[in-house]
Structure 1
Amino acid sequence: MKYIFLLLTSVLMQISASRQSFAQTLKVGFVDQQMVYSNMPEFQNFMKEIEASSAKYQDILKEKYDLYQQKIELYQKSVKDKAAEPILRDKATELENIKKSIEEFQMNSENDVRSAYQKNFTPVKNKVDKVIAEYGKENGYTYIFRLQIEEGIGESRPFLLYANDLNDDISKQIILKLGITTPVKTAETKLGLSRYLKK
């Protein structure tokens, strides 16, 4: 019994020592990528273009909806006034065509915005990923995690379940390494493409 107790104590001490050694060599950081992106001039520029395109598409869509609403009112008035069947059929066909035009335009405009975002965002993302990898290697990080934006509740949450110290946010250093020396802005809670679709 004494032998088993000594053996268990020895094993526990070795586990404890190896844990301390492992903890001393482990270096973990995290990056708020949305914050990094929102500070990059190339990201800001193409997002302005996307905002402008989206606003233009929304204006056209509103005009189409307004026209559709007017045509519905005219159709309802024609029904109330007991217009002839050919007139009602013509107005119903016109309504169907406008509705189809609205649906097609909405789908095409969303695809255009999505495509423009993807085309412009990919090189920005690749640039940031490369700098994060370089910074991690240069500064001896074992892991660098990203923050995930929870759009439904507007909060940023890291993928870590527990951390003793969250002072390893290297977002500002990544921004500086990207060559951006302007004052650091914090990220909006909802960056990216989703806020321009289906308004």
Structure 2
Amino acid sequence: MRNIFYVVVLALAFTSCQKQAKIGFVDNGTVINDYQEKKDLEARVQAKSNVFQKRRDSLVGMYQIELKEAQLKAQGMSPASLQKLSQEIQQKEQLLSQKIQLEQKQIEQGYQTEIDSVISKVKKFVKDYGKKNGYTFILGTSDAAATVMYGTDEHDLTKTILEALNKEYKK
């Protein structure tokens, strides 16, 4: 009987010495979308897109004017001259199209590079936050990939991390 008592006491001692895992979770979508650096990035990209659209509209407008002038010229031309003019117009259209596509692609690639950098910063921040605050795990969830099916509000670090991220960004 005495041995059983000692075994129970030892078992309780060992289980009480185990450190409890500190776990939290964040809503990835909320943290990324409400992060001020991402909002600033989107504003910069939108401004670039607006400038691009104005430039594109201007170039297309100039091309359309040239096209109308060519159509007027074409009325009195010989078939050979008409074919030459048609080829010139097609080349101008192709160059314009390529120029527009290239600039649009550059804007998109620039955005993708910068957004990847923002996401990396957020991941690093969450990792550092977890280490500094003694978390064993900080899980991520979003509407697209719900890895956390349920969590109590006390374990939801979304608002806390977002505030800390934005505070650090303002520095």
Asked whether the two chains share a fold, i.e. TM above 0.5, the reply is yes
Residues 1-199 of structure 1 mapped to structure 2, 5 A cutoff:
27=23, 29-33=25-29, 35-40=31-36, 42-76=37-71, 81=75, 83-137=77-131, 138=133, 140=135, 142-147=137-142, 157-160=143-146, 163-165=149-151, 167=153, 168-180=155-167
Higher Rg of the two aligned structures: 2
Q: For residue 50 of structure 2, what is the amino acid of its counterpart?
A: A
Paired residues, number: 148
Classify 1:179/1:26 alpha carbon distance in 2 versus 1 (closer, same or farther; 3 Å).
closer
Q: Which amino acid aligns with 2:158?
A: S
| Higher relative contact order, structure no. (Cα contacts within 8 Å, ≥ 6 residues apart) | 2
Q: Percent identity?
A: 16
TM-score, length basis structure 1: 0.56
Structure number with higher helix proportion: 2
Residue 120 of structure 1: how far off its partner (Å) = 3.2
Tell me: CA distance 1:52–1:100, structure 2 relative to 1, closer, same or farther (3 Å). same
Normalising by structure 2, we get a TM-score of 0.63
Q: CA RMSD in A?
A: 3.4
Amino acid at match of 1:61: R
Instruction: Give the deviation of 1:129 after TM superposition.
Output: 0.6
- CA deviations over 1:139-169 (Å, ceiling 9, x no partner): 535351242xxxxxxxxx1412772447454
Shift of 1:101: 1.8
Q: Which deviates the most, 62-71 or 125-134?
A: 62-71
CA deviation map 1:72-101 (0-9, x unaligned): 44455556x353224322331232122212
Q: Distance in 1 between matches of 2:56 and 2:151?
A: 49
> Which amino acid counterpart does residue 36 of structure 1 have in structure 2?
I
Distance 2:28 2:98 in 1: 37
Q: Give the 3-state SS of the residue equivalent to 1:144 in structure 2.
A: strand
The AA in structure 1 aligned to 2:159 is K
CA gap of 1:98–1:34, structure 2 versus 1, over 3 A, is farther
> Amino acid of the residue matched to residue 32 of structure 2?
V
Q: What are the ranges of 5 or more consecutive residues in structure 2 without an aligned counterpart?
A: 1-19
Q: CA deviation at 1:123?
A: 3.6
Q: CA deviation at 1:118?
A: 3.9
Q: What is the rounded CA distance, in whole Å, between the counterparts of 1:63 and 1:166 in structure 2?
A: 55
